Protein backbone atom coordinates (compact mmCIF):
# COMPACT_ATOMS: atom_id res chain seq x y z
CA UNK A 1 0.00 0.00 0.00
CA UNK A 2 1.47 3.31 -0.96
CA UNK A 3 1.69 6.11 1.57
CA UNK A 4 -0.68 8.31 -0.38
CA UNK A 5 -3.41 5.65 -0.53
CA UNK A 6 -3.24 4.93 3.19
CA UNK A 7 -5.91 7.51 3.97
CA UNK A 8 -8.45 5.47 1.99
CA UNK A 9 -8.29 2.81 4.71
CA UNK A 10 -8.86 5.27 7.53
CA UNK A 11 -12.53 5.91 8.17
CA UNK A 12 -12.97 9.35 9.70
CA UNK A 13 -16.42 10.51 10.76
CA UNK A 14 -16.41 14.18 11.80
CA UNK A 15 -19.93 13.76 13.24
CA UNK A 16 -18.84 10.95 15.57
CA UNK A 17 -18.53 11.50 19.31
CA UNK A 18 -15.13 9.78 19.04
CA UNK A 19 -12.39 12.42 18.66
CA UNK A 20 -10.81 12.49 15.21
CA UNK A 21 -7.32 11.83 16.62
CA UNK A 22 -8.71 8.64 18.21
CA UNK A 23 -10.34 7.60 14.93
CA UNK A 24 -6.96 8.02 13.19
CA UNK A 25 -5.18 6.12 15.96
CA UNK A 26 -7.71 3.27 15.86
CA UNK A 27 -7.55 3.11 12.07
CA UNK A 28 -3.77 2.91 12.08
CA UNK A 29 -3.93 0.21 14.77
CA UNK A 30 -6.30 -1.79 12.55
CA UNK A 31 -4.00 -1.41 9.55
CA UNK A 32 -1.04 -2.67 11.59
CA UNK A 33 -3.01 -5.48 13.28
CA UNK A 34 -4.36 -6.65 9.90
CA UNK A 35 -0.82 -6.52 8.49
CA UNK A 36 -1.89 -4.15 5.71
CA UNK A 37 0.96 -2.09 7.13
CA UNK A 38 3.87 -4.34 7.97
CA UNK A 39 6.83 -3.65 10.23
CA UNK A 40 9.14 -1.05 8.71
CA UNK A 41 6.52 0.30 6.28
CA UNK A 42 6.64 4.05 5.75
CA UNK A 43 3.55 6.04 6.71
CA UNK A 44 2.61 9.48 5.40
CA UNK A 45 3.99 12.53 7.13
CA UNK A 46 1.70 14.36 9.53
CA UNK A 47 1.08 17.08 6.94
CA UNK A 48 0.42 14.61 4.11
CA UNK A 49 -2.11 12.61 6.11
CA UNK A 50 -3.77 15.74 7.49
CA UNK A 51 -4.16 17.10 3.97
CA UNK A 52 -5.53 13.78 2.66
CA UNK A 53 -8.02 13.45 5.54
CA UNK A 54 -8.80 17.18 5.56
CA UNK A 55 -8.04 17.55 9.26
CA UNK A 56 -5.76 19.76 11.33
CA UNK A 57 -2.13 18.56 11.39
CA UNK A 58 -2.19 18.79 15.21
CA UNK A 59 -4.91 16.11 15.17
CA UNK A 60 -2.76 13.70 13.15
CA UNK A 61 0.26 14.61 15.26
CA UNK A 62 -1.56 13.59 18.45
CA UNK A 63 -2.52 10.22 16.94
CA UNK A 64 1.03 9.62 15.69
CA UNK A 65 2.50 10.60 19.08
CA UNK A 66 0.25 8.11 20.90
CA UNK A 67 1.07 5.38 18.36
CA UNK A 68 4.79 6.12 18.75
CA UNK A 69 4.51 5.93 22.55
CA UNK A 70 2.75 2.56 22.15
CA UNK A 71 5.57 1.30 19.90
CA UNK A 72 3.42 0.92 16.79
CA UNK A 73 5.18 3.74 14.96
CA UNK A 74 8.83 4.78 15.00
CA UNK A 75 10.20 8.15 13.94
CA UNK A 76 13.54 8.15 12.17
CA UNK A 77 14.97 11.65 12.16
CA UNK A 78 15.51 12.84 8.61
CA UNK A 79 13.78 9.78 7.14
CA UNK A 80 10.17 9.89 8.28
CA UNK A 81 7.74 7.80 10.28
CA UNK A 82 7.54 4.04 9.96
CA UNK A 83 5.61 1.14 11.40
CA UNK A 84 7.56 -0.20 14.36
CA UNK A 85 9.37 -3.52 14.35
CA UNK A 86 7.49 -6.12 16.38
CA UNK A 87 7.03 -9.87 16.52
CA UNK A 88 3.95 -12.06 16.05
CA UNK A 89 3.20 -12.03 19.79
CA UNK A 90 3.01 -8.24 19.79
CA UNK A 91 0.84 -8.33 16.67
CA UNK A 92 -1.52 -10.82 18.31
CA UNK A 93 -1.65 -8.64 21.43
CA UNK A 94 -2.61 -5.62 19.31
CA UNK A 95 -5.37 -7.58 17.54
CA UNK A 96 -6.71 -8.79 20.90
CA UNK A 97 -6.70 -5.22 22.24
CA UNK A 98 -8.72 -3.98 19.25
CA UNK A 99 -11.16 -6.87 19.46
CA UNK A 100 -11.62 -6.44 23.21
CA UNK A 101 -12.26 -2.70 22.90
CA UNK A 102 -14.82 -3.27 20.15
CA UNK A 103 -16.46 -6.16 22.01
CA UNK A 104 -16.83 -4.06 25.15
CA UNK A 105 -18.42 -1.27 23.14
CA UNK A 106 -20.83 -3.73 21.49
CA UNK A 107 -21.73 -5.27 24.85
CA UNK A 108 -22.50 -1.83 26.29
CA UNK A 109 -24.89 -1.16 23.40
CA UNK A 110 -26.48 -4.60 23.67
CA UNK A 111 -27.09 -4.32 27.40
CA UNK A 112 -28.35 -0.74 27.09
CA UNK A 113 -31.11 -1.90 24.73
CA UNK A 114 -31.95 -4.89 26.91
CA UNK A 115 -30.61 -7.56 24.57
CA UNK A 116 -29.86 -10.98 26.00
CA UNK A 117 -26.49 -12.63 25.54
CA UNK A 118 -28.08 -15.01 23.00
CA UNK A 119 -29.56 -12.11 21.01
CA UNK A 120 -26.22 -10.32 20.99
CA UNK A 121 -24.40 -13.49 19.91
CA UNK A 122 -26.89 -14.06 17.08
CA UNK A 123 -26.38 -10.47 15.93
CA UNK A 124 -22.60 -10.98 15.85
CA UNK A 125 -22.87 -14.23 13.88
CA UNK A 126 -25.33 -12.69 11.41
CA UNK A 127 -23.14 -9.61 10.96
CA UNK A 128 -20.00 -11.75 10.62
CA UNK A 129 -21.59 -13.71 7.77
CA UNK A 130 -22.86 -10.54 6.10
CA UNK A 131 -19.52 -8.73 6.27
CA UNK A 132 -17.61 -11.85 5.21
CA UNK A 133 -19.89 -12.20 2.19
CA UNK A 134 -19.35 -8.52 1.27
CA UNK A 135 -15.59 -8.97 1.57
CA UNK A 136 -15.67 -12.21 -0.41
CA UNK A 137 -14.03 -14.17 2.41
CA UNK A 138 -13.95 -17.93 2.10
CA UNK A 139 -12.51 -18.65 5.56
CA UNK A 140 -14.13 -18.97 8.96
CA UNK A 141 -17.80 -17.97 8.80
CA UNK A 142 -18.07 -17.35 12.51
CA UNK A 143 -20.43 -20.25 13.03
Q: Is residue 98 situated within a structural domain? A: yes
Are 46 and 102 part of one and the same domain?
A: no
Tell me the pTM. Answer: 0.74
Note the pLDDT tens digit of each residue in 54-102.
Answer: 999 999 999 999 999 999 999 999 999 999 998 888 888 888 988 998 8
Are 78 and 100 part of one and the same domain?
A: no
Residue 23: partners with Cβ closer than 8 Å, 6 or more residues away:
10, 11, 12, 13, 16
Using only the alpha carbons of the chain, give its radius of gyration.
Answer: 17
Are 11 and 62 part of one and the same domain?
A: yes
Are 79 and 110 part of one and the same domain?
A: no
Query: Residue 110's pLDDT is what?
Result: 94
Question: Angle of helix 20-33 relative to helix 57-69, nearest 10 degrees?
Answer: 50
Position 26 pLDDT exceeds 50: yes
Are 74 and 21 part of one and the same domain?
A: yes
Q: In total, how many domains does the chain have?
A: 2
What is the pLDDT confidence band of residue 4, given thresholds at 50, 70 and 90? Answer: very low
Are 27 and 57 part of one and the same domain?
A: yes
Are 76 and 8 part of one and the same domain?
A: yes
Amino acid sequence: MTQLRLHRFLEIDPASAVPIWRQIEDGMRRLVASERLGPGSAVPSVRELARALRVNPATVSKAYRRLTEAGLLAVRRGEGTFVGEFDSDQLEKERLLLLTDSAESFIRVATSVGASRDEATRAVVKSWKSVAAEDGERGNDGG
